[in-house]
Structures are given as structure tokens and as C-alpha cells.
Structure 1
Amino acid sequence: MTQVSDYVLSRLREWGVHRVYGYPGDGINGFLGAFERAKNDPEFLQPRHEEMAAFMACGHAKFTDEVGVCMATSGPGAIHLLNGLYDAKLDHAPVVALVGQQRRTSLGADYQQEVDLATLFKDVSEYVQVCMTAAQARHLVDQAMRTAAATRGVATLIFPEDVQEEDAVTTPGRAHGSVFSGVGSYRGQVIPPVHDVRHAAEILNDGERVAILAGQGARGAAVELTEVAELLGAGVAKALLGRDVLPDDLPFVTGPVGLLGSRASDDMIMKCDTLLMVGTGFPYAEWLPEEGKTRVVQIDQDARRIGRRVPVDAGLAGDAREALRLLIPYLERKDDRTWRQGIEADVGEWWRIMERQARQRFDAINPQLVAWELSDRLPGGAILTADSGSGTTWWARQLKLRAGMRASLSGTLATMGPGVPYAIAARFAHPDRPVVAFVGDGAFQMNGMNEMITVARYAGRLSGPPLVFCVLNNQDLNMVSWEQRAMGGDPKFPASQDLPDVPYAAYAELLGLIGIRCTDPDDVGAAWDRALGAGRPVVLEFVVDPNVAPLPPHIMFDQAKHAVRALRHDPDRVGVAAAAFRQKLAEFFEIRRHG
């Protein structure tokens, strides 16, 4: 007789789920037996930690637009899922979590590993339910999958051990209270009303200096976004989660915005008289126009998010692609292209600054050079992941994404740890595409190194096109060190910031992977060539200088004041000051040369 656990897996398979990331424990023993009987469909993939399973499910969702699924045992295993699930929730990635629980007879008795899981998962989940009887399994799985897909959020199902092992009920009896749900999710397109579209067009047509800020909600609308930018003579800046909505080789794409952003984006946003925000929840007011000085039009699928960051003059609640399509016929092409020409000149200047800064020499490898040398070598269709840290700045600024490439990171939670599991999930989902992860040594020590064991375990399946884990080794929790200086006015605190020097490339070789260690700036390009041509998973370690500051496009007075105060007593003050001066000097000379 088929058990509930067997039925749940078969129902997931009907929903198109063929891969579940999870870690075993006796709280899900019923499911483990069912996976064996399922003959690898769906397949159980084992990372080294439940948090990594949740990150992998999130990465799968981001790079496939499918629902990612993860699994954990009861108690501690379930708790470990939470960080990865919050990453999915905040970045709007659809994920279903399957979690074990103690037997129903022991619940409420403070039994070993008994945790109130429904309460624990309530905040992170759009839908959370406990399966208390076999007859519920069908409609709970259906509703969880449907909810995750429809809300682009997290749904959690909790299965007590004894329920997992009950005989399955695939078709409830036709009695009062029975539920006969079906497989299939349906996402209709939300279209804004015509009078809102006309009003938005009037504002955009009146603007003389129009800027566009696009986020991940604009993905799939590249053609329409480009046409709107051409008509309005606008430039397009991109929030980090929208890193791949438009390629960076378009002359009017100004790149990232904000603390990790480009000077071209910053100048455009600060000088525009009209801002069109498309599918973005970019939260930082200091990098947006001052209230009352710029007219704002916002497009978002969810009307609740319109006007949440800045007051808007017109809002279009709807799918970005459809809203832009409706808007285009009402837009008037701007004959005066002075504003657009200035944006394109700023973009060209910014890329020259990036190269000049990347080519600068420091005590160790300039971390900007690592990203710069990768940029032109990126294989077509590459998938790029990044972790959270100072390396994210170089990933955001120095890499030129081309059409067909994908990129993501923990944009909203900004947690350390997802860069490696995102990359692993991307390769499992797209075995024919190159994948490159950009990771700091702090995040790699935190959990990425452990996942190299996972990579080694599945190395045969993960080999082929490039799969490179690029580790920036500076022996410093670098972003926090800079935040201490610029935000707190405190010097770097070595007891919290210094990291052990670990031989990452050698560790990879110990596991049977390819390890490449680069310490000479003249060898950076050759190291990338070797890694990208390896045909097997590679840990590519660069020993980089921690004193190269991730300087914002404009330095605010309070940040400068705090940094000056901090550096008086900073253990790295000489190297930091020299590196910062040389970076700004490179920018100054580039502006003078072409200004």
C-alpha cells in the first residue's frame, strides 16, 4: 500500500518537481524511504546543511522561475532552514519547505525535538499547515505549490512522523468536509487601466530629463524597456536584483545604483526631473531623488508596493511588460537628445574609470582586477552568483553582463552564504550553462567550503561547462570593516574582523576538485582562462588587498567624517589611505582627460 510520503512525492512530481534539496533525520524517515522507492524522481539532493538546502531551493526558483523545494527533519533541522527561506521570502522566490515533526501522540508533551513549527514558520510563510491525517495530503501539497507560485513566496508543510507512514488516501470520500483539489497554477496578467496609463504618459512626456530605475520585476521586458528608454531619451539604472534585466553593453545602461552603484547611475538619478521605476523595491532614500523635486511614475505587479519608497505622481499596477506595452503608444519621442547624450558620455567615462581603477597596483591583487579580467571572458549564457560582502561591489560594478546571461544574489536579506549554493542549484537546473560564483573568504569559511564536499560528491554531474567558485582571500570580513569605519566612525576591530588564512585551492584539491591559487596581478587573466577551460568544478582563489575600499559613487559628509575619525586609530590606516587616494586619483584623471 502506498504511504502518505510516497503520495506526497508523486504529487510533487505531477506539479513538475523533479529535485528536492534536503538533509536527513529521523523526523523525515518516512520520506527517505519514499525517495528510495521513487527511483530518483523526484531526486533527493543532499547538501551539508539544511540552510544550504533552503538556499539551493531559492537559487533553483530564481534561475528557473519554477517552485524550488527543500526538506528538513523536525526540531533543529527545521530551524536551520529559516535563513534560506527568509532569503526566498524577501527576494520573492517561490519555495516550498517540507518539514518533519514528532508523532501526533507525543505533541504537547515537550518531547525530544518537539518545536511549535507552525508558529516558527508563520512569519516566513505565505502558507503553513500541519498534515494531521492522510486525507489532507492531496490538497495541502496542491495549495502549498499553488500559493508559492502565485505569491512568489514560501509555503511550508509539516508532516508528523506517523502521518508520513500512514496509508495514503489519494481520493477522499465524497463526504461533507472533503476537498478535491487539482494540480496546476495559473498566473493571470494584471493590466493597469487606460486612464492610469495615459496619466503616466503625460508625466513622462512632460519630463525633460527622464531616468529609469529597473528591478527584477522588469525581467522579461527588455524589448519594451529599451523602446521606452529610446523614446524618452532616458538612461536605465538597475537595482542589484535587476542586474540582468538589460545587458550592460547598451550605451544608455548606467549600471547599478546605490552604495554599490556607478557614478553614472548616481548622477542620472540625482539630476533627473522625472523618474520611472519599473519592478523595483529599491529601499535607500539617500540614493533616490529628494522628495518633491522629481516627478515619479512607478510600475509594479503589486499595487501595495506603489508609493512605498517615494511618493509617486502616477502608479501603474500591473505586469511590467504589459504595462510598458500599453504605455509605449502614448509616449512621444523626445527630439532633444542632449540629456541622453550626456548619460551615454557618463557611461563611457564610468567604464574607463572602472578599468583604470582595476589596473592599479596594490600590495596584493587588486580585487577589482579579478572582476574586470573575468568580464570579457564570460562565456555566453553564463549564470553569475554573488555572496554578500565587499566583493559584491566589484561583482556589481566591474562585470559587463551580455544578453542571455543571468545573475542573482541575496538582494534584500543580504545574508552571507548563498553564493555557493545558488551556483550549485543553477548548475543542477541548467547543466549545459556556465556558472560562476563570486564569494568572499568570510562567506566561504562560513559555509561555502563545506559545500565543496557536495560539489565533489556530485562532481560527475557538475562537470562540463565552467563551474567556478571564485574566492577573494583578504583575511578580513571586509565589508563590515568598511562599515565600521564609514558608518560607526570606529577603526577596524581585528578581534572580530580578522580571518584565518585558509588554503582554499589546496582544500579543493584535497577533495578531488581543481584548485587554482593566484597571488600575482599579472597572472589574473591566465588564472581565469585555466579555470574556465577546466571542464571540472574549480575553486579559484585570489589573494587580494583588503585596503581597496568599496567607495560609493558619492561620499556623504557624515561618512567622510566618520572614516577620517576611524582611520586615526585603524591598524590598516596607511594602506587604506593610500589605496583610497589612488582610486579617487584614477577617477579624477579620467574625468579630466575626457571632461
Structure 2
Amino acid sequence: MLVSDFILSRMAEWGIERLFGYPGDGINGILGAMNRQDRIRFIQARHEESAAFMACAHAKFTGRTGVCLATSGPGAIHLLNGLYDARMDHQPVVAVVGQQRRMSLGSNYQQEVDLVSLFKDVAHEYVQMVTVPSQTRQVIDRAFRIASEKRTVTVVIVPLDVQEEKMEQTPKRTHGNVVTGVGHSFAKTIPTYEELKNAAAILNQSERVAILVGAGAFGAEEEVSQIAELLGAGVAKALLGKMVLPDDLPYVTGSIGMLGTKPSWELMEGCDTLLMIGSSFPYAEYLPEPGKARGIQIDSDAQRLSIRYPMEVNLLGDSKATLQRLIPLLQYKSDRSWRKEVEKQVAKWKEVVESRAMQPADPINPQRVVMELSQRLPDKCIVSADSGTCAFWYARNLTCRRGMKGSLSGNLASMGPAVPYAIAAKFAYPDRIPIALVGDGAMQMICMNELITIAKYWKEWENPGLLVVVFNNCDLNMVTWEQRILSGEAKYEASQDIPDVPYAEFAKLLGLAGMRVEEEDEIGPALDSLLDAGRPAVLDVVTDPNVPIVPSHISMENLSNYFKALMKGDAEQFPMIRQTIRELMQGGIA
């Protein structure tokens, strides 16, 4: 057995079934070992960045560690963006990276990069280079154990000559040798009874409770619903927590923040107590004003407690286990006036969202696309969204149901992960239908190439359904609106305009299904056709870039910047004004 064989067999013992990567001579030893075993499958991405996104998505959708593989030098460097996506969204990912032969290191050799230094930030919990075969066991074991325990990124660097050396079958019991084992026990931290009593006392005294859930609340869905019913509370969702509770519950106010809803804004403005569960939502301006509401936070990481809002009680613990012990201490609130007000606002907001989606645009309102899609979402589908205005419509307009999954690049907010996420979802759940919402900027940046990956593998999938919806407006639209609203600058066409690309025709060239839609009445029939196409499909929708991303709350500064941009002669000022007026006439702005 060579070191490379051992690495793969050890990964299999850690439960790894597939790894995502791209070949290169710096990992020839590992690729050779892949060819000598059948326990782990290699999934070939078009780019190492996509491979890292896929590993992150695998972790997000399955709860298990994702693995990506890249060669030395440029291959390793390409991993970084996807690895930062995993680290910043607290996902367990192990990257295995090649390196030049040991005798070449320090000679300014071709593709020689100081990989330990390169990965030191993204994998600050554990990055290690294997320098002798006897070190391999403990480095692999520690990388997987730390990634799993800390929910973070770890990196293992293996020089090519080490990959090709023989591995001792049985570790020697000698001084200095570290002999490790496989396996990790997941302990659930639980706050003390006194801490739970203090939290319950505050919640029992409160009259208007607002709950904010994030990705850390996954697995505690029933408990969150139960506590919301007991307290008569409304529940807002951070972007990564969008799928924690379905949107058809009358007390779920939807997303929070700039991409959020008016009911979520009003929930935070009107509450007297904030209960934050498994979230590190960063934007303080969308939380209650400090001092106007009491605060309780539940999180499994002490570093994330009380860093977004001055919490009165900080409960360090697993969300599900903590809520299970908190619930018996809570009193049912017979006064449901706060709940009734929340539900009234939610119902009103849904009418606003629908009426906005039905407003005419030139040629298609992107909100209409997501509304039509929401009505047709397959059961247990897995939705991924890219960064940009499509994330805005995902957050605000997509109606999720129980059993669905969904995610996007949350804290990094990187362009490019939507299609890699969908691919990873498909390999993890071959019977489900992934749906990727992608802006044309992200499509051109990296996602078009990953259609080739889909074309490579789709015929083996149990259910070949997979849909990519491209919001084609020939504009890097989110930044365009940020220039206007945040900076008071007119659209800079040289940086913002991008080419019109026939995405559906490209999909057809690859043997996939594809349709281009330029009329609103064509959206529904096109979705019906592509969701039933019997193969992966691309819907290329020509959307209006001047439909504004209206925040749930417009500050005077944002409004002032908007008018400054108009006064500076924005090239799209007249259609922009028209669409903004249409949006504002529908109400829903705080």
C-alpha cells in the first residue's frame, strides 16, 4: 500500500463516498490510487473553485463532511474561494492538495507555492503538510475530526513523492510516533438549568416575542414551531435559515435584512424580546434598536454569542437540545394580539409580493419568474441561488414548503456557486430535483462551464431532472443597484453591461434541454415543459434590469443616494423611475 492508497482508504473509513476535484500532475499519485479502489468516487468539476463549492454544498445539504481535491500551485489557489464559502458559512470541508516533490521545495520550482501560508487563514484550525509516510494517518484523522467538530475547513498537503512512497500497514509503537483512530462522537452542549430558567423568565414576562432563526436551527424545526406557538411569536429567517420553516405558516414573516420582507422589519421594530436561534445575522440596522428589546440567543459556538445584539441571556448549546429543555419552562400566552398582528402583516405582505410580481416590465419582471416557479416547485426539491439580484428574489419571492432544502453563499456572498451547489445536491440526492437560480453575471463567470459537468453525468442519475433558471438582463444588476442606493452613483455602463449569451442554445449543444423566454405568458408553460423534460434543462429568461430591489426599509440616506444617482444622469433613469413607481405604488415599504 502506498501513501496515496492509504489516504483514500482512510477517507472511506471516515464515511467519504465521493470527492470533487480536477486533475493535475501534483496529485498523480492520488489519482492513481483512485483507479485502484472502488469505495470513493471522483467527481470531475470544470474548475477547482467549483469543486470546492461542491464540497461546501455537500456539507450544507447532507450535514456530512465534504472533500475536494486539487493539484499544486494554480489548482490549490483556485480552491480558495469555495473554501472561504465553506469556512464563512461554518461547513465541514477537507481539502486535499498536491505539492511539488520535497527535494524541490525552496528552489523556486515550477508551480511551487507556500501552500501552508496560502491556506493559513481559510484553514486556520488545521492546515498540515505530510512530510513522511508515518505522519499520514494522524494528519488525515485530525483533518477530518477537526473539520467535523469545528464545522470548518481543514487542508492536507501531500507532496508528490510522499504520495508514491510505501505506507506501513501497522503503525510502529515508537517514541514520537502519533497513532490515531477513526471516528468522532458528536456531543450536544446544553445550557445549565439556571440559564434556561433565566431565559424562560424573560420570555414568560414578554408580550411581543420575535424569533430569528438561522442555519443553526436546522434539525430543530419542530421545537421552533412549538415555541412560536407557545409564545404567540412571529418567526423571521436569516438567509441561510430560509428553509428552516416553510413559508406557508401564517406566523413566518420571511427573510430579514435588505433582502427581507416588511413583516420581518415590523417584527423586529415592534417586539419587546428577541430570541435568536442558530444565527449570526450581521446587519444590526435590521435588528431591534439596542435597549428597546430584551435579548436571548442560542448558539453552539460561544464566539458567536452576543456579537450582533446585546443579549441578556446567552445560551451555549445545540438548538434542538436547548429548546427541548426550555419549552417545559415556558407558559402559554393566552393573549394572542401580537400573533394576530404578525399574521395580519404576513397576509398583507403576500398580497403585496404577488401584486408586484404581476407588474409589467420590459420585457419580464424577475419577480414573476420566481412566483411562477414557486407554484411549480417539485416536492423535496433542492434550491440553490447565486449572489446578486436573484438572491433577492430567492429570499423574498420563493415560497418554500416543508421537506425542501435550499442554500446559497451566505456570509461570503460569492458569485458562482448556484450550479455547483445543484450538482452536489444531485449526487447526494439523485432522486430529488435541484433548481439553481442564477444571474447572467454568475452564469458567464463560472456556471456555464458546469453545465458541461451536468452533461457528463446526468444519464446515470436516478431522476435526471435538474433545472437552471438564468435571469438574463445583460447587467451586473446587484452592483448596479448598490451603486445607486448605497453610493449615490449613476450606473457605470463600462463595468456593468455584459453580453447577451444564448444560454438555452448552449445547453442544447451539450445535449440538455433549453428554452429562451421573452414574454411573461411564456414563463409558466416553459417551466412546465422543462421540469418534465426527462433531462437537465436551462431556462433563459430575459428580465428587466430596472425592476428595483426595494429594501424592506428605506433609510433617508438610501433615498438621498437614489436621487443623486438620477441627477447624475443614469443611463436607465427613465425606465428605472417607471419601475420604481410601480413597485412603490404596491406598498409594503416601511
Q: Same fold (TM over 0.5)?
A: yes
Does 1:582 find its partner at 2:575? no
Task: Name the counterpart of 2:99.
Answer: 101
Counterparts of 1:171 and 1:397, CA distance in 2: 56
Task: Name the counterpart of 2:170.
Answer: 171
Counterparts of 2:81 and 2:383, CA distance in 1: 21
Does 1:489 find its partner at 2:502? no
Counterparts of 1:198 and 1:48, CA distance in 2: 53
Counterparts of 1:553 and 1:199, CA distance in 2: 33
Task: Name the counterpart of 1:398.
Answer: 397
1:51 aligned to 49, 52, 64, which one?
A: 49
Q: CA deviation at 1:14?
A: 1.1
Which residue identity lines up with residue 441 of structure 1 in the other structure?
Answer: D
Deviation readout 1:293-324 (Å, 9 max, x if unpaired): 11001011112211111111111110011111
Does 1:130 find its partner at 2:129? yes
Deviation readout 1:62-110 (Å, 9 max, x if unpaired): 1111110001000111000000000000001100000000111111111
Deviation readout 1:26-65 (Å, 9 max, x if unpaired): 11110111111113x2111111110001000001111111
Task: Name the counterpart of 1:549.
Answer: 548
Counterparts of 1:461 and 1:170, CA distance in 2: 36
Counterparts of 1:214 and 1:575, CA distance in 2: 37
Matched position secondary structure for 1:251: coil
Matched position secondary structure for 2:107: coil
8 A contact 2:458–2:464 mirrored in 1 = no
Task: Name the counterpart of 2:79.
Answer: 81
Task: Name the counterpart of 1:216.
Answer: 215
Counterparts of 1:68 and 1:90, CA distance in 2: 15
Q: CA deviation at 1:376?
A: 1.6
Does 1:278 find its partner at 2:313? no
Q: CA deviation at 1:463?
A: 6.6
Matched position secondary structure for 1:183: coil
Matched position secondary structure for 1:488: coil
Counterparts of 1:391 and 1:57, CA distance in 2: 22
Q: CA deviation at 1:466?
A: 2.5
Matched position secondary structure for 1:81: helix
Which residue identity lines up with residue 208 of structure 1 in the other structure?
Answer: E
Matched position secondary structure for 1:439: strand
Deviation readout 1:235-291 (Å, 9 max, x if unpaired): 000000001111111110000000000111111111111100000000001101111
> Pairwise mapping of residues 96-495 of structure 1 onto structure 2 (< 5 A)?
96-125=94-123, 126-462=125-461, 464-495=463-494
8 A contact 1:28–1:99 mirrored in 2 = yes
8 A contact 1:138–1:170 mirrored in 2 = no
Which residue identity lines up with residue 86 of structure 2 in the other structure?
Answer: A
Which residue identity lines up with residue 92 of structure 1 in the other structure?
Answer: H
Q: How many residue pairs end up in the alignment?
A: 588
Which runs of 5 or more structure 1 residues have no equivalent in the other structure? none
8 A contact 1:216–1:241 mirrored in 2 = yes
Percent same amino acid among aligned pairs?
Answer: 55
Q: CA deviation at 1:362?
A: 1.1
8 A contact 1:389–1:416 mirrored in 2 = yes
Q: CA deviation at 1:395?
A: 0.9
Q: CA deviation at 1:170?
A: 3.1
1:72 aligned to 70, 73, 81, which one?
A: 70
8 A contact 1:47–1:454 mirrored in 2 = yes
Q: CA deviation at 1:398?
A: 1.1
Q: CA deviation at 1:185?
A: 1.2
Q: CA deviation at 1:465?
A: 4.9
Task: Name the counterpart of 2:40.
Answer: 42
Q: CA deviation at 1:462?
A: 4.0
8 A contact 1:213–1:275 mirrored in 2 = yes
Matched position secondary structure for 1:34: helix
Matched position secondary structure for 1:261: coil
Q: CA deviation at 1:510?
A: 1.0
Counterparts of 1:48 and 1:435, CA distance in 2: 19
Task: Name the counterpart of 2:572.
Answer: 572
8 A contact 1:436–1:466 mirrored in 2 = no
Deviates more, 1:170-179 or 1:577-586: 170-179
Counterparts of 1:170 and 1:478, CA distance in 2: 57
8 A contact 1:264–1:350 mirrored in 2 = yes
Which runs of 5 or more structure 2 residues have no equivalent in the other structure? none
Q: CA deviation at 1:554?
A: 1.2
Matched position secondary structure for 2:35: helix
8 A contact 2:471–2:541 mirrored in 1 = yes
Q: CA deviation at 1:365?
A: 0.6
Q: CA deviation at 1:368?
A: 0.1
Which residue identity lines up with residue 20 of structure 1 in the other structure?
Answer: L
8 A contact 1:516–1:541 mirrored in 2 = yes
Counterparts of 1:183 and 1:108, CA distance in 2: 34
8 A contact 1:463–1:535 mirrored in 2 = no
Q: CA deviation at 1:171?
A: 2.0
Q: CA deviation at 1:586?
A: 1.7
Counterparts of 1:38 and 1:113, CA distance in 2: 29
Matched position secondary structure for 1:587: coil
8 A contact 2:466–2:537 mirrored in 1 = yes
Counterparts of 1:401 and 1:11, CA distance in 2: 38
Q: CA deviation at 1:516?
A: 1.0
- The CA RMSD measured in Å over matched residues stands at 1.1
8 A contact 2:74–2:111 mirrored in 1 = yes
Q: CA deviation at 1:457?
A: 1.0
Q: CA deviation at 1:523?
A: 1.0
Q: CA deviation at 1:522?
A: 0.6
Counterparts of 1:283 and 1:59, CA distance in 2: 22
Counterparts of 2:141 and 2:378, CA distance in 1: 39
Q: CA deviation at 1:531?
A: 1.2
Matched position secondary structure for 2:587: helix
Which residue identity lines up with residue 20 of structure 2 in the other structure?
Answer: Y
Counterparts of 2:103 and 2:361, CA distance in 1: 65
Deviation readout 1:473-504 (Å, 9 max, x if unpaired): 00000000000000110000000000100000
8 A contact 2:200–2:329 mirrored in 1 = yes
Counterparts of 2:334 and 2:116, CA distance in 1: 59
Deviation readout 1:151-176 (Å, 9 max, x if unpaired): 11001000001000001123221111
Distance 1:469 1:462, change over 3 A: farther
